């Protein structure tokens, strides 16, 4: 992009930080925004600023929210005895759309990578332990992805709960192997919750 103006190149480079966006896509996005959708570009810029300022983590479940508690944690009609542990906020949305879990959630905001040495710093384990202290939780449903990372994360969680007084289950393998939660349809998601395998009673 040697002959491009600096501001344009800077925008292309900034767009490349988005997941799955390479140099060609970034170039096309920058062109699309500046030539055909300047209002959209303005809104995107402002939405980023607004989100950076407003979005924090729910004190209880660690998902993104604007106040102290997210809508689900603040909802007293949810069953506090069942806690479902997921990778990221999109997984909560998927579960809610499937309408198969009336308990609460905990969002790890990351996964363990078994290839890179099972580094636990990417998942909010400390916050999870604190969440369970003096809680009403009786059953924990591990709803991590059925990928290498999700399996490793589930293993770490199962080890963590081994000597603690909770029922622990993991989603049934109704979800296709290698699949990631956010791309699974609601029906399959629901079946995987109903048929969850007990790991420990």
By CB under 8 A, name the binding residues for a second copy. 1-8, 10-11, 13-15, 17-20, 24-25, 27-35, 37-38, 40-55, 64-66, 70-72, 88-90, 92-93, 96, 109-110, 182-183
Quote the least distance from Cβ 200 to a second copy, whole Å.
29
Nearer to a second copy, 88 or 128 (CB): 88
The token pair at 65 is 């929210």
Q: In what order do the strands lie in the sheet with 139-142?
A: 103-107, 79-86, 139-142, 167-170, 197-200
Q: Is the Cα torsion angle 171, 175, 181, 187 positive or negative in sign?
A: negative
Quote the least distance from Cβ 19 to a second copy, whole Å.
5
Of the candidates 103, 99, 108, 105, which has an alpha carbon nearest to the alpha carbon of residue 187? 99
Nearer to a second copy, 71 or 102 (CB): 71
For the chain, the C-alpha Rg in angstroms (whole number) is 20
Nearer to a second copy, 88 or 137 (CB): 88
Quote the least distance from Cβ 198 to a second copy, whole Å.
28
Q: Are 166 and 151 in contact (CB under 8 A)?
A: no
Quote the least distance from Cβ 149 to a second copy, whole Å.
14
Nearer to a second copy, 166 or 182 (CB): 182
């Amino acid at each position: 992009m040697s002959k491009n103006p600096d501001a344009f190149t800077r925008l292309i480079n900034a767009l490349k930080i988005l997941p799955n966006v390479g140099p060609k896509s970034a170039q096309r996005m920058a062109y699309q925004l500046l030539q055909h959708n300047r209002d959209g570009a303005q809104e995107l810029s402002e939405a980023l600023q607004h989100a950076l300022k407003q979005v924090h983590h729910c004190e209880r479940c660690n998902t993104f929210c604007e106040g102290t508690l997210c809508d689900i944690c603040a909802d007293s009609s949810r069953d506090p005895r069942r806690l479902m542990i997921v990778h990221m906020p999109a997984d909560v949305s998927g579960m809610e759309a499937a309408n198969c879990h009336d308990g609460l959630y905990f969002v790890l905001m990351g996964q363990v990578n078994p290839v890179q040495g099972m580094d636990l710093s990417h998942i909010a384990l400390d916050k999870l332990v604190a969440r369970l202290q003096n809680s009403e939780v009786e059953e924990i449903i591990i709803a991590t992805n059925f990928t290498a990372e999700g399996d490793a994360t589930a293993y770490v969680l199962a080890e963590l709960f081994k000597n603690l007084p909770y029922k622990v289950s993991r989603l049934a393998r109704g979800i296709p192997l290698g699949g990631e939660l956010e791309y699974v349809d609601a029906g399959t998601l629901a079946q995987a919750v109903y048929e969850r395998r007990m790991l420990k009673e």
